[in-house]
Structure 1
Amino acid sequence: MQWGPLQSRLVASLAASLFLLALYLLLFSPNVALAAELPLDSYELGDAPHDVGNVRGAASYEPEFDLFDRSIIGRALPGVATLENDKPRALNLQPGTMACYVVEKSAIFGNDGNSTGGAPLRPLDEASKTLHLSATTCLQPYFSGSNDKRSSPPQLILSVSNSTEAGCRKLSKDPKDAGVTLFEEGAAMYSLNATGDIYVGITAPNVSSDFQGVYNFEVAASLTDHFHRYQKRDAAELLWMDSDSTSALLVTRNLTENEADVRRIMDQGPPYELFVSNRDSAATDGLKHSACGLQHTAQITANTLSNSKSNSPARTGMTLKGPGGFPKQQFYFASLNASSSYIGILVKKSKVAAHEKRQVGDFDTGSVVFEATEFQTVSGTNCKVVTDLEFCNEIQYAVPGNDKKFNGTALAKAYDDYAKTMYANFETVMMQIPCDAPRTSLYSLARNCNDCKAAYKKWLCTVSIPRCEDFTSSNRFALTRNAGQAFPNGSQLPDDVRNPLIAMPYSNASRNAFIDSEIQPGPYKELLPCEDICYEVVQSCPAAIGFTCPQPGLISFAYSYGRREENGSTASCNYPGVAQTPMSAARNLVPDSILLSSVSLAAVMMFG
């Protein structure tokens, strides 16, 4: 059978079309064929996210080749997925492969004044707009080598361009020389002025045979700020208040100091998670700036979920206790190892998970990782952290204790009840002061009885509940106490250490007889109260109550009070709210000192 001219041309045209289609598929096949997009919550890591075995298990996955989703059907670039505003995407990458994304011009500028992510955008007539790109590593290949050398895999690589050629090409040279951005501790942030489509490449570098498993990352684009952020501040966001041999207490800075916001913030619940690991652990190496990476690798996690587990070593919650009575989030850790160093990393959790869209009008949706806070436990067992006292509600530190007589709750109550009893004596004295008289008839035009009661309570709680440091503490500001008494386990200090100390009255007993007779902690060191706590009482209370403070330079002052050293690396004296975190970082939590410059102070009242 012979075809006519028209039929011949039709067959030739069809053959040419088939040839061009085959050539197109050959040249433009997806370059991320080993990547499988998975939501982060698809990983079943078990109840112990720090378990290295569980992390290894997560690297074994079933690929779901979801590269061509509905958002890119019909696009001219196969294998290039879209990024929408404030909508993170998660993906697995085998080492040596890459993934490519595009933030389309319509998502940046909007085609009708609204973004695809729900945030209102300005019209299309702008020449450029700032685009914030961020990515974090959630999992990385684990070290399976035989040597004991601490090692972590190379970091992921972020490339950004207004063309696919630059943004989505595989690197052919050292990333440091390729004009791209290396992730740092599992995070990368990049901002640029966009005028059109922006292409984003994430490259998983090749790894040696000592590493096994895949990379998993999360990437997002935002027009307001980086969706994933690592934030380093001059003052620490998380403060280590104190610790003993097995527990530690950490708190955030005040979440507000506006009284009108207090109730709203308390009703919202805890905004942070805290991830803690032993400083010697390599589990979080390479992931310390990544919220999802810490979630999978940290040894201890403190969040609202950990509160519900009966055997959890961590508890967290909102509190108004502490200086100022403002909202802060508190973290308490138990079952820690004695004489150990830990790293705590505070994270503000993202409100939007991968594959979810943010709520309209919600501009603060991403995660924020804050600079790590280091803390240590001690070797001695007779200093115990107390917190959440009912009367002395600003006390949050280690106090002289005795495991043989008191658990943590009972110890806190014993001290609190003692201070409350002593305060009752003060109230009897204050009944003699005409506190209800007209202001012009009061003892002071600047202070009133409420100021006096607050200052006296702070002083009383601080001196009757001394801050305890281990007897072996090297803090030069700490004073030895109760050297002649046996430790709770029955042992005593060696004679060559004990004999010189018991010859000095201030080292042979505690500040208060109640401690030696009722608590019986044995030898310890005390961080003395700051002098301005005493001065505040003198300034705030009527002279008729007879309260005075020791004068600097006298022996009674040296063994009763300490002075602040603002630039010191350790606390030089005790004031409610003083953290073990260096003073420069904790300064915002502590009220300014109120010092007397011209008051003659001669004697010591009550506890000295």
Structure 2
Amino acid sequence: MLLPRTLLCLAQAWLVLADTQLVLNQLQTVSATTSPLTYSLPTSQRPVSVSVALCSYQQSATPRFFVSNGSVMSPGPDDLGEDVFELELDGYSLGNLTVQVTSSGVLAVYNATDMSFEVGVSDDGPMHQVLDELPLFSDSTANQVLMFSPPFSPPSISAPSYPNYTLPAANQTFPPEPPSPPEYSLFIAATTSSAFMTLPRTGCAFRGSANNVGRLLASAQSEGLWLRDTGGWRWQWFVNGLVPMTNYTVYAVKNETQVTAPIYFSTKSPAFACPIVYGLPFCPSIGYAAPLGNDDPATGVTATELPSAFTDNLISGLTNFTVMLTTLACGRDLYSPIVTCADCQAAYRNWLCIVSLPRCAEYTSTTSSSAAATSTSTSMFGQGTAQEPLITPTPALAVQNASSPRNPNLPPFAKNYTAVLPCLEVCYGADRACPPFLGFQCPLPQYTAGQSYGVGYVDTGEEGVVGGGMTGAGTDQWGNVWCNGPGVV
């Protein structure tokens, strides 16, 4: 007769033989039918990260994951101790745990019957994790949105030095694209959708629900790579088919498993007529709705579709400015210990593009134009969610007469529209980076600046005081746009 301890050893040996061997740096997708499930962990001389992401779950069950890197062959809730650890899931329904597995290790899964999940073991960081960076909401219309992935591969920019003070051309060309950019996907879903609200916030859940809950857009479905600023290259998506006046939530997924925190936006009303302008090499940071006619709104407006009077005047002005700027010795030894002529040109380009091409907006449907001008709780794209900041200042909006374009090089628009004014800091950026002899000056906050710029949103609006404005940025991840300029992402 076998002793009880012998029976236990045989049972543990059977579990080791019956479980699945996980492979280092490879994903394993599981549809659980029994509980518990056990998996042998690969050994490594380096610490390994065991990570899990739920692809679906049952509301009535709470799955639990236990990792052993010692003698316990079937770790569970009663075995927590020196060699047994619980891998806990976060609010995204993913989690990871780093352990040393030199001889043997086991992952045990409980209460996951009728669920599917991914598990991965890596010696190069967690395969499943929440990323610190965010995707970028550029702008929306009634049924479109322009989105960007988080930045990657910052460009190498060399400061001009003696005797070569060559600066980028007005109609600039981008440096070579990065040879192996990371793959990104965007998952877009209506925020209040009941199916979306119960969905795990993981890459595999997004992939599995893309047909009936939201929309998953891979890098191959994007408009390609775009270098909109010095932060780095981004994937760019121009998305059609959205519902007017609807709140949307967006997640970016890197390499199918790593998920960013969400950002939010709202589509505008069906009456909103401005198309999105993007893809301008002479104004790479421009990507928003502008008062321009467009024969095919589904494609937006790109550089080749802009009026030649606007394009030629902007490029000519930037060219002349660059020629005048390079009459000065641009090296750090003579120009400035902090900035160079290249910084001046970049800041001036940003200012010129933003003030030359007005950004369309619209007042919220709950307030009239006059009420919105004094309200302190209205936002242009407010979500009304519990996570949104409690105080949402009124954006810097101004009604524009269609027969008197803000820029005379633009053709008259079909009807009056509302513009969101540039942030005053866009002007300050050029003023700080450029030499005084150019004569570039910004209006003062206490006098006329409020007629042409959004004042007090990024900075306080007081002379000499930097930071501490009402919002600290022109835009935020909640979809609020207070003035046209620097955002938080």
Taking structure 1 as the reference length, the TM-score comes to 0.58
Deviation of residue 410 (structure 1)? Answer: 4.5
SS of residue paired to 2:397:
strand
Q: Which residue of the other structure, out of 228, 233, 238, is the alignment partner of 1:327? A: 233
Are 1:219 and 2:119 counterparts? yes
Amino acid at match of 2:149: T
Confirm or deny: 8 A CA contact 2:330 2:341 kept in the other structure. no
Confirm or deny: 8 A CA contact 1:167 1:199 kept in the other structure. yes
Q: Which residue of the other structure, out of 50, 59, 64, is the alignment partner of 1:133? A: 50
Deviation of residue 427 (structure 1)? Answer: 6.3
Are 1:198 and 2:90 counterparts? no
SS of residue paired to 2:195:
coil
SS of residue paired to 1:295:
helix
**How far apart, CA to CA, are the structure 2 residues paired with 1:327 and 1:277?**
25
Deviation of residue 215 (structure 1)? Answer: 1.5
Deviation of residue 559 (structure 1)? Answer: 0.8
Name the counterpart of 2:37: 99
Query: CA 1:239 to 1:589, structure 2 compared with 1: closer, same or farther past 3 Å?
Result: same
Name the counterpart of 1:242: 139
Q: Which residue of the other structure, out of 184, 191, 196, is the alignment partner of 1:272? A: 184
Confirm or deny: 8 A CA contact 1:242 1:579 kept in the other structure. no
Deviation of residue 537 (structure 1)? Answer: 4.6
Q: Which residue of the other structure, out of 154, 161, 167, is the alignment partner of 2:75? A: 167
Query: CA 1:568 to 1:238, structure 2 compared with 1: closer, same or farther past 3 Å?
Result: farther
SS of residue paired to 2:245:
coil
**How far apart, CA to CA, are the structure 2 residues paired with 1:529 and 1:137?**
43
Q: What is the correspondence of 1:479-558 to structure 2 with a 5 Å cutoff?
A: 479-482=397-400, 510-515=405-410, 517-524=411-418, 526-538=419-431, 547-554=440-447, 556-558=448-450
Deviation of residue 521 (structure 1)? Answer: 3.8
Q: What is the correspondence of 1:385-534 to structure 2 with a 5 Å cutoff?
A: 385-402=276-293, 408-410=299-301, 413=304, 415=306, 417-423=308-314, 426=317, 433=324, 435-436=326-327, 453-472=345-364, 474-475=378-379, 476-482=394-400, 510-515=405-410, 517-524=411-418, 526-534=419-427
Deviation of residue 80 (structure 1)? Answer: 2.5
Confirm or deny: 8 A CA contact 2:277 2:301 kept in the other structure. no
**How far apart, CA to CA, are the structure 2 residues paired with 1:431 and 1:319?**
24
Amino acid at match of 1:87: Q
Confirm or deny: 8 A CA contact 1:237 1:253 kept in the other structure. yes
Query: CA 1:263 to 1:288, structure 2 compared with 1: closer, same or farther past 3 Å?
Result: farther
Confirm or deny: 8 A CA contact 2:153 2:178 kept in the other structure. no
**How far apart, CA to CA, are the structure 2 residues paired with 1:445 and 1:192?**
50
Amino acid at match of 1:267: P
SS of residue paired to 1:324:
coil
More helix by share: 1
Gaps of 5+ in 1: 1-15, 31-73, 109-114, 116-120, 123-129, 142-151, 173-177, 207-213, 308-314, 351-366, 486-507, 592-608
SS of residue paired to 1:293:
helix
Structure 1 residues 277-300: Cα deviation after superposition (integer angstroms, max 9, x where no partner): 111223344543422122101320
Name the counterpart of 2:369: none
SS of residue paired to 2:206:
helix
SS of residue paired to 2:452:
coil
Structure 1 residues 212-265: Cα deviation after superposition (integer angstroms, max 9, x where no partner): xx322222223332222233x3xx421212212111122234313351899686
**How far apart, CA to CA, are the structure 1 residues paired with 2:178 and 2:327?**
34
Deviation of residue 458 (structure 1)? Answer: 2.6
Confirm or deny: 8 A CA contact 1:168 1:199 kept in the other structure. no
Q: Which residue of the other structure, out of 361, 377, 381, is the alignment partner of 2:272? A: 381
Confirm or deny: 8 A CA contact 2:264 2:478 kept in the other structure. no
Deviation of residue 156 (structure 1)? Answer: 2.2
SS of residue paired to 1:559:
helix
Structure 1 residues 445-502: Cα deviation after superposition (integer angstroms, max 9, x where no partner): 788876665444332211111122113374423222226x5xxxxxxxxxxxxxxxxx
Structure 1 residues 185-211: Cα deviation after superposition (integer angstroms, max 9, x where no partner): 4323223355642221112356xxxxx
Name the counterpart of 2:225: 318
**How far apart, CA to CA, are the structure 2 residues paired with 1:552 and 1:391?**
29
Name the counterpart of 1:256: 153
Confirm or deny: 8 A CA contact 1:323 1:394 kept in the other structure. yes
Deviation of residue 345 (structure 1)? Answer: 1.3
Deviation of residue 303 (structure 1)? Answer: 0.7
Looking at CA atoms only, which structure, 1 or 2, has the larger radius of gyration? Answer: 1
SS of residue paired to 1:259:
coil
Gaps of 5+ in 2: 159-173, 366-377, 380-393, 459-466
Q: Percent identity at matched positions?
A: 22
**How far apart, CA to CA, are the structure 1 residues paired with 2:88 and 2:340?**
60
**How far apart, CA to CA, are the structure 2 residues paired with 1:587 and 1:260?**
22
Query: CA 1:458 to 1:192, structure 2 compared with 1: closer, same or farther past 3 Å?
Result: closer
Amino acid at match of 1:465: L
Amino acid at match of 1:387: Y
Query: CA 1:418 to 1:390, structure 2 compared with 1: closer, same or farther past 3 Å?
Result: farther
SS of residue paired to 1:422:
helix
Confirm or deny: 8 A CA contact 2:288 2:359 kept in the other structure. yes
Are 1:85 and 2:3 counterparts? no
SS of residue paired to 2:312:
helix
**How far apart, CA to CA, are the structure 2 residues paired with 1:411 and 1:265?**
20
Deviation of residue 416 (structure 1)? Answer: 6.3
Query: CA 1:551 to 1:139, structure 2 compared with 1: closer, same or farther past 3 Å?
Result: closer
Q: Name the count of aligned residue pairs.
A: 422
**How far apart, CA to CA, are the structure 1 residues paired with 2:37 and 2:322?**
76
Query: CA 1:571 to 1:339, structure 2 compared with 1: closer, same or farther past 3 Å?
Result: farther
Q: What is the correspondence of 1:49-60 to structure 2 with a 5 Å cutoff?
A: none
Query: CA 1:410 to 1:347, structure 2 compared with 1: closer, same or farther past 3 Å?
Result: closer
